[in-house]
């Protein structure tokens, strides 16, 4: 079933691209009013606008439905139920992260006994020049 929906989804996506490329822009109607051969179209004197708009709308609706169906299939395959997909933080995840943070080794603190003398700063070599 999922393979069939993917095939329909790809075919509809290609059809949408083709339908959008076949449609005329808004500026193309000005040339038709001056006798640019609009009476010689395949779709009649009214032009192809209505047919292409309806076909694009139907293809977009099918594309939306197949996208939603594929999202539902993906959610079901991931094993996430709708009830557990809530944004509430899982207590088990918090406990595991706290346990893993306790396993991280801590660095030794540096000695700060005599910080006023600057003992932790290396001295400059004596210059005999």
DSSP string, 41-106: -TT-TT-SHHHHHHHHHHHHHHHHHHHHHHHHHHHHHHT--TTTTSSSPPHHHHHHHHHHHHTSPP
More confident position, 7 or 128: 7
Residue 47 has pLDDT above 60, yes or no: no
- The whole-number pLDDT of residue 25 equals 74
Number of structural domains the chain divides into: 1
Residue 102 gets the label, from left (phi > 0), alpha (psi -120 to 50) or beta, of alpha
SS3 7: helix
The pLDDT > 70 percentage for the chain reads: 55
* Confidence category of residue 10, pLDDT binned at 50, 70, 90: very high
* Confidence category of residue 123, pLDDT binned at 50, 70, 90: confident
Query: Does some domain include residue 53?
Result: yes
Residue with tokens 């808004």: 26
Query: Does some domain include residue 116?
Result: no
Q: Confirm if 36 and 90 have CB atoms less than 8 A apart.
A: no
Query: Does some domain include residue 63?
Result: yes
Domain encompassing residue 65: 1-23+47-77
More confident position, 107 or 29: 107
Query: Does some domain include residue 1?
Result: yes
**Average pLDDT score over the chain:** 75
Q: In sequence order, which residues have a C-beta less than 8 Å from that of residue 43 and are 6 or more positions away? A: 51
Quick: pLDDT tens for 53-102: 899 999 999 999 999 999 999 988 887 766 655 555 667 777 777 777 66
Residue with tokens 């557990």: 84
Residue with tokens 């038709």: 32
């Amino acid at each position: 079933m999922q393979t069939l929906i993917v095939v329909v989804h790809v075919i509809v996506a290609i059809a949408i691209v083709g339908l959008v490329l076949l449609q005329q822009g808004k500026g193309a109607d000005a040339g038709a009013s001056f006798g640019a051969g609009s009476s010689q179209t395949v779709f009649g004197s009214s032009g192809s606008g209505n047919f292409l708009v309806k076909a694009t709308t139907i293809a977009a609706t099918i594309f939306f439905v197949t996208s939603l169906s594929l999202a539902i299939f993906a959610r079901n395959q991931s094993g996430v139920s709708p009830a557990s997909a809530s944004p509430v933080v899982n207590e088990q995840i918090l406990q595991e992260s706290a346990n893993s943070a306790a396993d991280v080794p801590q660095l030794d603190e540096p000695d700060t006994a005599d910080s006023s003398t600057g003992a932790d700063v290396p001295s400059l070599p004596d210059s005999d020049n």
